[in-house]
Structure formats: structure tokens, C-alpha cells
Amino acid sequence: MKKVLFLAAAAVTAVAANAQKTKVSAAENAIILQQYSVAKESIDEAIQHPKTQEFAKTYIVASKVYAHLAGEDAANLDKAKEYILKAVELDKNGDSKGKGIGKFTKDINKAYDELAVIAETFAGKAYGDKNYTASRDGFIFDLWAHSQVPGYNELSDSSIIINVGIASMQAEDWKTGADYFLKAGRLRVGDAMSYLRAKYCYEQLNDNDKVEAILKEGFEAYPHVTDMINTLINYYIQAQKNDEALVYLNSAIEKDPANAQYFFARGCLKEKSNVKEAIADYQKSIELNPQLYGATYNIGVVYYNEALNKKTEASGIRDNNAYNAMINESNEILKKAVPYFIKAAELAPDKTQKREVLANLQRTYYTLQEYTKSQEVKAQIDELDAAQ
């Protein structure tokens, strides 16, 4: 009699356990039917029941259910991660007797792939809905899920890495954006733009040291990309680090000796240290691109300022002959500015810049005592002013 009762009790226990495993199966079926609230109800019950709360399959299914519920609350991605890791832990330990270790490894790896797909879909929709923080979190979860599968290669997720960066930028999470764009740059994906985006993020964080380091690293990775070179050079120019800028400009000119902008930029840097070399660089840039306004105008300004300095120097000379000689020298230099100002006025990209050039040209003619020409230029300035 006791034996019969024992068997009966065992049968009841088995039925109860199977009933709870049925809840896990019900949740799986509800996922297939996209009935996620129904799936949640079933799997939550299985998680709470003693017969299935130590069953690895319970948490595999739970992770999928909660990943699908991310659209209701992005925090459900954290629950999905918690549950799949719980499944991994239970699978490593086996049952209460230590049996069945690794039984669900294939199911877990398959689940990781499914979770990645679910998260990517969620992230894409969140981005379309302009919920950029949720989109960022979804793409990060996507990467994490993929990375858990044996043999994972980060390069296979290069587009997702960039998506994390873009979503982070939109969410104004500059640190995360910088981290992922830098990761993309080091994987050599996204071309030089990955480094330039990382640089932009660090600018928003006011981290100038990181900006400089990333631009230098980006230049080493993409030394022939014009935007990369130009951005690095401009950074040093704006930071008034002329020596550093010249190093990269010289390197850029070696790689692309037909680039007029590089010679123009180097001319700008050399104006204070070596006027002759500055003029030579400006002239080279004009030779390469006769329509280059900046270089044309700057040569005129260099000659104008040089002449003005000579005239100032002359004012301190007591000897009349020496004074006149210095003034004549000043005027000869000033005459060199005229053709450049005339050409720059033709090339000026807008009325404001054209007016500035003409004003300098008028002063130049006046200083040279060419009063008729000075008045003619004044008339052009008046005409520009009247048209505004």
C-alpha cells in the first residue's frame, strides 16, 4: 500500500512539473503568434513556480519574451539580458544532481541570434520614431547578444557599431557616440568619417586633448583622405599651433602637390614668420587655381602691409634723401598690391568681401597719389552700397 501511495505521489509531482513546463511551451507559442502579453503572463508564472524556476529553458524563452516587450519599455532589454544569462548559468550547472550540463547550449546560442534580431528591429523602429536613447540601447544590446556566440567576429557587426554612434549622437550622448565611432575607426569601417564623427563628439565634451589625439590617429589611418587632412590642419590652425599645422601641411603637399588649398593654407601660416615664402605659396596656389580668391587677396594685403611698414619706418628717418628713398621703396611695394586687389575684386564671392577689397584698392591708389583711379574705385563702392 505504501509503495502504491509513493508512486501515486510521484505521478502527481510529475504532472505538476509537466504542467509548468507547458507554461514555457505556451509562452513560446505565444511569441510565434506575436501575442507578447500572453507570452509574458505564461513565462512569468513559470519563473515563479518552484518546478520551473531552475529550468534553463524557462529563461531562454523569458529572454525572448522580454526582448519583444522592449517596445513597451526599453528597460525590458535589461530583463532579457538578465534572463538569458540566468539560462547560461543554469545550463553550466546542470540539474540538482549535476546532470544535463550543456544540454541547452545550442538553444542558448540560437537564442542570442534571435535576441540580436529582435533588438535590431526594435532599435530601427525607435530611431524612426526619434526615440534615440532607446534606439542606442537597442543597438548596444544587439551587439552584446551577437558577441556572446562562440566565434563572434566584431567586423560582422560593423554597421551596428556605427548605428550605435549615430543614435548616440542624436541622443546627445556624446561619450557613447565617441566610443563607438572610435571603435569603428579602429576596425577600419566607416572610412575616415568614423574618426571625424568621434572628433565631433569629443568637441561637444570640450575634450580638446581627445580631439587632437583622435585627429592624429585618424590621419595615420587615412593619410590620403582630404577631409581627414584638412580637418587636422584646420584644428592646429584654429588652436594657433602653427608648427604642428606646418608639419601636416608639408606632409599633405607631398602627397598631393596639385592641391591649391594646401599651398594657400601654408601661405597663411607663414605670413608672420617668412613673408617671401608666404607670397611664394600664395602664388603657387594661384598657379594651380587662378580662381582662388583667398590667395589672390592675401598677396595684395601682404604687399599693402609691407609697404605700410616701410612708410612707418621712414617716418623715423631724419635724413631727407634717406627718407625719400624709403618712401619710394614703399610705393614700389604698394604698386605690387594693385593687380592682386583688382583680381580679388573680380573673384570676391559676395558683396561684403568685394567691398572690403575695393576699399583697400581705393586706399592704395590714394596713397600712390593716383587720385582719379581712387575716385573711380570709390564710385564702385558707392554703387555696391546703393544696391544693398
pLDDT recorded at residue 9: 41
For the chain, the farthest-separated pair of C-alpha atoms sits apart, in whole angstroms, at 139
In this model, does residue 4 exceed pLDDT 80? no
In this model, does residue 314 exceed pLDDT 90? no
Q: In which region does residue 374 sit, left (phi positive, over 0), alpha (psi from -120 to 50) or beta (all else)? A: alpha
Q: What is the pLDDT of residues 179-222, one digit of tens each?
A: 999 999 999 998 999 999 999 999 999 999 999 999 999 998 99
In this model, does residue 172 exceed pLDDT 90? yes
Dist CA 205 CA 202 (whole Å): 5
- Give yes or no for a contact between 57 and 24, defined as CB atoms under 8 angstroms apart: yes
CB atoms within 10 A of CB 36: 20
* Residues 202, 203, 209: CA angle, nearest 5 degrees: 65
Dist CA 319 CA 322 (whole Å): 5
Mean pLDDT of 4-27: 57
Q: For the whole model, what pTM was predicted? A: 0.74
Residue of 189, 75, 80 lying closest to 137 (CA atoms): 75
Q: What is the pLDDT of residues 243-257, one digit of tens each?
A: 999 998 898 899 889
The DSSP result for 90-154, as a single string, is HHHH-STTS-STTTTHHHHHHHHHHHHHHHHHHHHHHHHTT-HHHHHHHHHHHHHHHHTSTT--G
| pLDDT band, very low/low/confident/very high, at 18 (cuts 50, 70, 90) | low
- Give yes or no for a contact between 87 and 63, defined as CB atoms under 8 angstroms apart: yes
pLDDT recorded at residue 20: 54
Dist CA 113 CA 145 (whole Å): 7
pLDDT recorded at residue 272: 82
